[in-house]
Every structure is written in structure tokens, then in C-alpha cells.
Amino acid sequence: MAEITAALVKELRERSGVGMMDCKKALQENDGNIEAAIDWLRAKGLSKAAKKADRVAAEGLVAVASKEVGAGEVASAIEFNAETDFVARNDLFQNAAKRFAELGLEHATVEGLHGAELESGKTVQDEVTNMIATIGENMQLRRAARLSVDEGVVATYVHNAVSPGVGRIGVLVALHGAGDKAKLRELGRKIAMHVAATSPLSLNTDDLDPAAIEKERAVLIEKAKEEGRPENMIEKIVEGQINKFQKDVVLTKQPFVMNPDQTIEQLVAEEGKALGNPGLHIGGFVRLALGEGVEKVEGPDFADEVASMMKG
């Protein structure tokens, strides 16, 4: 008999939408053959989920949740996908997304969340499979993230919210440090709105993905050549543009959307000083936008929209 590996079970689960244990049994019954295992699952009454599992699920919702833990906080964000926006506006779907986000406070990875138990005793993955069969669309709990601080707050923000805690973009911002929690949360929410608008690639310059820098460098070199810039000047020109690129995509270096004369780094330093905590700092952020990497989502200019909301 073929070895039934965790990777094989995971692949079948992703293709079929069926629970992990059922996937493992299906593979065991079919000597590790995925196509035969899918047919076996259909024959056993899970056909609705299996037939729909190869359809693109790029709509849905992002949900957030948070709770206080002593002097600190923990918050989570999840992306729960469906095929149509119509289903995403269904109360059943929205309530499921909220429950999954609450469970995300205890489970740091999407894999852990799939196996988490609901009040009914079913796992999250089993619940998703049942919803696929009941509603008739492919669904996928695609991403999960969690941030926590021992002291401070993890602020949450949902853009284009369809109900409290769920919408098309979810942001978490961890602020480390002592201070009035209400004021810290207000600051964190403003920064989270900024993150929703600007989509930074990293928190600090040092943790910016080198691959992103090299990709930008290659584009800029080619552009300089197309513009007929002198060969001996291209390196210097591109280096200056790379420095500007880093400031554009690094959160702490970005101009704050509510006050472009001030960077996020300067904003936090100023607020920390006002709160009597000069060591206040951003420990991390998470931005989940619905459908990223699945299908391009067209929408309004978030920067203008968020800036308008913040000023209002």
C-alpha cells in the first residue's frame, strides 16, 4: 500500500473540501490515488463538497477579533472565501467568519484553525465542508493571522465592513508599551486605517523582503535604459529611487495619511511622549485583503477613502 503522507491528505482536503479524517480514509481505501479518493468521497455522500472544491472562491469576508489578556491583548484576522458576494452577505456565512476569528485568538495558523473544535464538537474544517454542501458554493478558510502583546494593545480595523468585525480588508496593529489603553487603542486604530489605505510591505526597512527590493531594482534599471539615461549614471539614479521605494513601502517611514508632514514613526514617538512612554513602538501589523493572490479585486481608492473617513 502507498504511504499516506500528511502532504497527500492536505492536497486531497484542499481539492475536495472534505474533513481531514475522511480524506485520510479515502486515500487509504484507494492506495493513495487522489482522483480515485475524490470519487470515493463522492460515492460516500460528500459529493456536493467534492464537486465544488475546484471552483474559484475569491469572494467572501475578512473577520477580526480581539480580547484583553492582563496588561496586554491578543487579536486575530481570518479570510473566509466563497464564490459570490451574495453568499458572503448571508448571516450564516458572516456568523461562521466571526466564530472562526474568535477561534483564531487561540490558534496562530490556518492549519491549527482547521482542526479547532466548535461548540458542536465538529472541527472548523468539518463545518466548512457542511456549509459547502448546504449553501452550494465552494468555500475555503484560506488565511489566518494572530498578534499579541504582553503590555499594550492590538488594535483592529475592518474596511468596507458589512457587519461589526467583518468586511473586505482586516488590519491588526500591535502597539507595545504602557499607557492609557483607550488612547493606545485610538492610536492603533488610526495606524490600522493607514495600513488599510497604503498596504505597506514591511514594518521596518531592515525586514523588507530582499526579493521585493531586487524586483524593483530590475524594473528601475530597465526603465532608466529605456529613457536613455547614461550608462555610468544608471546605478546612482536607481539607488536613489530604491531609497524612495523603501520609504514608500515601509510602514514606519510612510507619511501618515491623516498628516502627510509626519511619518508613522514620528507619530508613534510623539504619542508615546504624550503618554509618558517614550519606548512605545509598533511590534507588528497584519493586513488581509479579500482575494489577494486569488483574483484581482477592483475597488475604490482606499487611500482617499480612508483619509476622508479619518478627517470626518
Q: What is the reported pLDDT for 306?
A: 45
Query: Is residue 169 very low, low, confident or very high in pLDDT (cuts 50, 70, 90)?
Result: very high
User: What are the cell numbers at 184?
Assistant: 493606545
| pLDDT tens per residue, range 128-142 | 988 888 887 888 999
Number of Cα atoms under 13 Å in the Cβ half of residue 269 = 8
Mean pLDDT along residues 263-291: 95
Q: What are phi and psi of 171, to 5 degrees?
A: -130, 140
For each of the domains in the chain, give its residue range(s) and CATH number, in order of start. Answer: 6-52 (1.10.8.10), 59-204+250-311 (3.30.479.20), 209-247 (1.10.286)
Q: What is the reported pLDDT for 41?
A: 78
Q: What is the reported pLDDT for 130?
A: 86
Residue 116 has pLDDT above 90, yes or no: yes
CB atoms under 10 Å from CB of 162, counted, come to 15
Q: What are phi and psi of 302, to 5 degrees?
A: -60, -35
Q: What is the reported pLDDT for 303?
A: 47
CB atoms under 10 Å from CB of 239, counted, come to 12
Look at 48 and 91; give whichever has higher pLDDT.
91
Q: What is the reported pLDDT for 310?
A: 52
Residue 300 has pLDDT above 80, yes or no: no
CA torsion angle for 29, 30, 33, 38 (degrees, to 10)?
-80
Q: What is the reported pLDDT for 296?
A: 37
β-pairing, 169-176 with 59-69? unpaired
Distance of alpha carbon 262 from alpha carbon 44, whole angstroms: 61
Query: Is residue 308 very low, low, confident or very high in pLDDT (cuts 50, 70, 90)?
Result: low
Residue 160 has pLDDT above 90, yes or no: no
Query: Is residue 44 very low, low, confident or very high in pLDDT (cuts 50, 70, 90)?
Result: low
As a whole number, the mean pLDDT across the chain is 86
The DSSP code for 250 is B
The DSSP code for 143 is E
What percent of the chain lies above the pLDDT cut of 70? 88
CB atoms under 10 Å from CB of 206, counted, come to 7
